Chain A
Amino acid sequence: MLIGAFAVAHTPQLLIRPETEDRDLVLRVHAAMARVKGRLQAMKPDAIAIVAGDHVEAFFLDAVPALAVYVGRECAGTFGPYRYRLDIHEDLARAVVEQGIERGFDLLYTQDARLDYAFYVPLHFVMPEPAIPIVPLHVNVYLPPQPTPARCHTWGVALGEILRARPERVALIASGGMSHFPGTDRYDSPEFEYDRGVLEALREGRGRELARVTGEELDKRGNVELRTWITLLGAVGDARAEVYCYEPSWHHGNAVVEWPLP
């Protein structure tokens, strides 16, 4: 069963705040993430499937998968002083790989990959208590050639069908976004108006329009990570988004969103 769907920013400065970051803004994003945590507590999911773009941590240039599933008993990673280790819902993860392959998606799977903060930052703030197992799903966002938005959407449609047919109660989270240009000369000038247009379309249930955006457009708009959202949009169909927050910092459009599901 697919019982919930959310998108959550994963800016590292939300977890470890340098003096360059507006503390009040960071706390407002934390408050929006706390709402997600409250929703998850109430929904009582058996697992969280989280779609994130590994930030060249599990997968460096020795192997660059377009789509991957972490299958195993647990996954672990570090970020600065944080050491994290999370249980994987192995049955569900394995079902996603097997049924995904069966449906024609050439998924990579791993039983031993480092879990990046792109997964960890949202879970640090939204994981229910006691913690529940996860299924980490990777979409390549940073190393060209990335999967096209259309492919991400198609994968998301299949993922949604797979999850809906399962006995477990599953919440789906897309990690990342919105506009930002880390490491480039555009770092201090994200495309906030583009983000606001995307959020308006999502509020109106027009998420499938994002499947038609090109990879070039996402790069130009600082939104390569929207591939994780577009994957989720394939799974939620025409559900209308509720935007918990949109907080543009000097370098990043921080959004927290829920798609309430019937």
Chain B
Amino acid sequence: MSEAAHYRFPPSQAYPLNRCLFALKSDRAFAERFLADAHAATEEMGLTEGERADLRHMDRDALVARGAHPYLVFMAGLRLKMLAEPATLEYF
């Protein structure tokens, strides 16, 4: 798969970032801590300050450029919205 692909091999240097996005997506308690204080929640995740700043803003393109998996960025963002603004969603 070429480097131009939308979904690329996840580089190992981005593992802590992808681990954090996975937790935002799949660990509700962590996502709630992140919503309350993103800086404190990401203290022990082994991230760079730049990664932590991009996570605070959920800057999709910047995170993907750092090696974040695009799907994890997408779903972490949707899960945070589901937690932060549940009344804006319709449930079937």
Contact = CB atoms under 8 A, between A and B. Distances in A.
B61 A55 contact: no
A85 B91 CA distance: 18
Contact of B72 (A56, A124, A215): A56
Contacts of A14: 92
Interface string A70-106: 0000000010110000000000000000000000000
Interface in A171-224: 181-187, 215-216, 219-220, 222, 224
A145 B19 CA distance: 19
B73 interface: yes
Interface string B46-79: 0000000000000011001000011111110011
B36 interface: no
B72 A18 contact: no
Given A145-B9, A183-B69, A183-B73, A18 B92 contact: no
Interface string B18-29: 110010011010
Prevailing SS type, chain B contact patch: helix
A71 to B, nearest CB: 22
A12 B22 contact: no
Contacts of A114: 26
B13 interface: no
Contact of A144 (B1, B79, B81): B1
Contact of B15 (A18, A61, A124): A61
Interface residues of B, number: 35
B8 interface: yes
Contacts of A185: 60-61
Contacts of A80: 79, 82, 89, 91
A114 B27 CA distance: 12
Contacts of A224: 7
A17 B90 contact: yes
B6 A143 contact: no
A24 interface: no
B54 to A, nearest CB: 14
A28 interface: no
Contact of A183 (B19, B60, B82, B90): B60
Given A182-B70, A182-B74, A144 B91 contact: no
Given A19-B88, A143-B10, A219-B6, 4 more contacts: A60-B19, A142-B7, A143-B69, A219-B7
Interface of A: 12, 14-19, 23, 26, 30, 55-57, 60-61, 78, 80-81, 114, 124, 142-146, 181-187, 215-216, 219-220, 222, 224
- List the 6 shortest-distance A-B pairs measured between CB atoms, nearest first: A183-B70, A183-B74, A182-B74, A17-B90, A183-B73, A144-B1
